[in-house]
Amino acid sequence: MSILSFDSFVLAAATDDLSAEPAARTHADAVEFRLDLAAEPLAQLEAYDGDLPLIVTNRADWEGGEAEDEATRLSTLERALEYELVAAVDIECGALDGSVTAADTDAAHGLRETARSEDVSVIASLHDFESTPTVEQMLSQLETAAAEGNVGKLAVTAHDRTDALAVLTATHQAVEAGHTVATMAMGTAGQHTRAVTPVYGSAIGYAPVDPEGTTAPGQYTLETLRSLVGHLE
């Protein structure tokens, strides 16, 4: 398996088409492959011979994705771990901690154990598409997510600068507490946090390989995010 360390910032280029990977090589450290959006995702993984390691995501519909069948999406992720260049897997924190009734927690735990046995990092992710919780709530969420995986990922929705500031504060405090986290605020009001949270220790940033193929509100282009993070570091 390919090893992907989150000891320093990782810029992940999001796509549902692995044939687009060459376009990401100049700026990205990894590719996030969205299996739930992809045509024949396992066939794409079989054919993949790119330079960049892969983060595989098969986002549940209850967490904003398009994978509807819980058992199938998790078993597909488990099969994805068989491929050498898969270095990390994104598993919803709500599946791992049992807080989402629609999730198959036992299967999610099995997937995590398989990942660990294959030295594949686990990103335990949380998404709030409506609002930004309080700093205290985000800290609690990040602590839980970081305990469930190698990286705790939290994406929230900012409506104003106060929300964006809360995300930066929670990021800083979580990192100071020793947690490995990836944070961002979605939406126009939070767009700048995608470039700024790495200054506060956020371990992963996301941008689309194709500027027309954004997978979350407020994403920068890949080249722009790399430039912004590079100038702010």
Enumerate the active-site residues. Answer: 127, 153
* Planar angle of CA 66, 109, 123, nearest 5 degrees: 60
3-class SS letters over the chain: CCCCCCCCCEEEEEECCHHHHHHHCCCCCEEEEEHHHCCCHHHHHHHCCCCCCEEEECCEHHHCCCECCHHHHHHHHHHHCCCCCEEEEEEEHHHHCCCCCCCCHHHHHHHHHHHHHCCCEEEEEEECCCCCCCHHHHHHHHHHHHHHCCEEEEEEECCCHHHHHHHHHHHHHHHHCCCCEEEEEECHHHCCHHHHHHHHCCCEEEEECCCCCCCCCCCCCHHHHHHHHHHHC
Cβ count within 10 A of residue 116: 13
